[in-house]
């Protein structure tokens, strides 16, 4: 039931490139908030909001981890789009798609509006929408509006605004006393690591690529030193926070995808002892491991970016078993 007028070619993030060949990510446009104090039109309610994700997308992966840590699975339903992004962007699965998933029941046709593609949902909210059609997308089934499509804000909402519905208590993942430290960490991790891998992979000029490459590995070297005595990124003693969730989704994709697909081949995560054990420490927690679908991740990147990998060849490795090995970080503060 694709709507007339919305079949124009999908414009992907691969096209967000400056004149010098640098990748420049465009900001998300839906930035409303769900608030428990009633200060917005969107109060937290069980069953009202639907989360649309891709299991391949690191930004969407953040929201799945936070949702699982807080035990919000019965409060916020989720649908995962198909791993392949074609010329019309993300599409929903059909009854013929039978991929095995880490989230049973999530890979399915759109259960909310019956749309075939994510772009239909965006255009149903705003027929004149001219931004990127992205996931994660937090949708209000009551008002038929997109509440928010910015991952860093969605995880803040899941952390705090749904406490009345949470069935698990991981602690405050964004505590007031760590706000300054979390912001300081994000100021160098987001541009150089989270977005840094994309600045490398989507660059369309040698100099732009090398600038991003230098920034990325400079930040990874800094991270390796940062994690030498700290179990988590922030706090003294350190505590698991949203900062760790934001970083994990990039690190877990690095060796399997970014090293080859985005040409970030100076070092792998397995070459950084502290980062590797930090990654293992997080991965071995149920909310992180059970939301990581490496098959979807690899299929999406290697088969969807035709300008980078024109024959869509997907490498079968590496095995992820190394992430189940001992991390030896229990005694760090």
* Residues taking part in catalysis: 57, 198
* 217, 267 contact by CB (below 8 A): yes
Sheet harboring 145-148: ordered strands across? 77-80, 49-53, 137-140, 145-148
> How far from each other are the two terminal CA atoms of the chain, in whole angstroms?
54
Contacts (Cβ under 8 Å, ≥6 apart) of 160:
36, 172, 174
Task: Mark out the alpha helices in the chain (DSSP H runs).
Answer: 58-70, 118-125, 151-160, 179-189, 196-201, 206-226, 242-253, 259-261, 273-283, 286-289, 294-304
Task: Mark out the alpha helices in 166-293 (DSSP H runs).
Answer: 179-189, 196-201, 206-226, 242-253, 259-261, 273-283, 286-289
* 90, 135 contact by CB (below 8 A): yes
CA 118 to chain centre: 17
* 199, 248 contact by CB (below 8 A): no
Name the pairing type of β-strands 49-53 and 77-80.
parallel
């Amino acid at each position: 039931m694709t709507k007339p007028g919305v079949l124009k070619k999908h414009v992907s993030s691969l096209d967000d490139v400056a004149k010098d060949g640098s990748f420049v990510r465009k900001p998300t446009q839906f930035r409303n908030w769900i608030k428990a104090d009633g200060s917005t039109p969107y109060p937290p309610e069980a069953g009202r909001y639907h989360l649309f994700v891709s299991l391949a997308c690191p930004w969407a992966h953040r929201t799945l981890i936070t949702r699982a840590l807080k035990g919000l699975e019965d409060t916020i339903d989720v649908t995962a789009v198909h791993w392949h992004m074609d010329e019309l962007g993300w599409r929903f699965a059909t009854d013929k798609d039978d991929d095995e998933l880490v989230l049973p029941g999530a890979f399915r046709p759109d259960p909310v509006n019956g749309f075939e593609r994510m772009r239909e949902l965006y255009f149903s909210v705003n027929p004149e929408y001219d931004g990127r059609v992205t996931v994660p997308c937090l949708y209000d089934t009551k008002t038929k509006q997109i509440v928010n499509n910015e991952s860093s804000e969605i995880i803040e909402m899941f952390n705090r605004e749904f406490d009345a519905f949470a069935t698990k208590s991981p602690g405050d993942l964004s505590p007031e006393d760590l706000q300054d430290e979390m912001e300081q960490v994000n100021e160098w991790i987001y541009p150089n690591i989270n977005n840094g891998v994309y600045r490398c992979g989507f660059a369309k000029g040698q100099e732009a690529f090398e600038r991003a490459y230098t920034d990325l590995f400079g930040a990874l070297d800094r991270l390796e030193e940062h994690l030498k005595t700290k179990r988590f990124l922030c706090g003294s003693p350190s505590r698991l926070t949203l900062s760790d969730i934001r970083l994990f989704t990039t690190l877990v994709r690095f060796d399997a995808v970014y090293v080859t697909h985005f040409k970030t081949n100076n070092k792998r995560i397995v070459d950084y002892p502290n980062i590797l054990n930090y990654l293992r420490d997080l991965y071995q927690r149920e909310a992180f491991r059970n939301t990581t679908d490496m098959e979807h991740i690899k299929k999406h990147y290697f088969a969807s970016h035709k300008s980078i990998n024109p024959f869509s060849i997907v490498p079968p490795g590496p095995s992820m078993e190394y992430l189940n090995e001992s991390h030896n970080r229990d005694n760090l503060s």
